[in-house]
Amino acid sequence: MATRERNARPGAPSKRKPSARSPGTVPARGAAEAAAVDDAHGPALDRYDIAILAALQREARLSNAELASRIGLSAAPTWRRVKWLEQQRYIVGYRAELDRRRVGLGVLAFVRVDAERNNASATRALEEAIRGLPEVVACHYISGAGTFELHVVVTDLDAYSRWARDTLFKLPNVKDIHTSFSLGEVKSGAALPLSHLRA
């Protein structure tokens, strides 16, 4: 998803420019503003909310006017709904999606990490260490005894070899690693399916 420009975000229905938003974050809202939006909106998603989520997943830089036109509402209620979706954490951030190859990250590796000790403290220590690695763009704790699945991006195979030897194997409680390399992306950065919400 592409980050919205400051003057193109689904935002103020007035002509005044909204304040800048840091990429990847949804700004905190005041209690009075949150209460006003909640009063105008029920507790559940409706078809307009779902349409907003679908549209912003495809193109997060839509202006509020463009978004309103696409979902079939006027600008003001569309703006309020976007704010409500942010406040309720349905929308948790906005960011630019980069082509990893264009920025020199030619290798995508899927790495299964087996932990040496499968207990709560050891698992937490390994989780914390993994969170601090910028090369790890995704990590899941998967079924199996103390097993993590990492998505790792690096510049080339030599860089991965050095990273695994000098960094990954030195993490706390790592017993073994098993690596597979992507030979080509069929689909990535996909929007979440929302058809079940419309049922």
CATH class of this structure's domain 1-97:
mainly alpha
Compute the average pLDDT of residues 136-164. Answer: 93
Show me where the domains of the chain are located: 1-97, 107-181
Question: pLDDT of 39-50, one tens digit each?
Answer: 568 889 999 999
Query: Which of the two residues, 3 and 198, has the higher pLDDT score?
Result: 198
pTM over 0.85: no
CATH class of this structure's domain 107-181:
alpha beta
Among candidate residues 111, 121, 124, the one with its CA nearest the CA of residue 167:
111
State yes or no: pLDDT of 73 exceeds 60. yes
pLDDT band at residue 56 using 50, 70 and 90 as cut-offs: very high
> Is the Cβ–Cβ distance between 175 and 127 less than 8 Å?
no
Question: What pLDDT, on a 0 to 100 scale, did the predictor assign at position 182?
Answer: 96
Could you give the CA distance from residue 179 to residue 150 in angstroms, rounded to a whole number?
9
Mean per-residue pLDDT over the chain, rounded: 84
Cα Rg of the chain (Å, integer): 21
Q: What is the dihedral of CA 13, 19, 45, 95, to 10 degrees?
A: 130
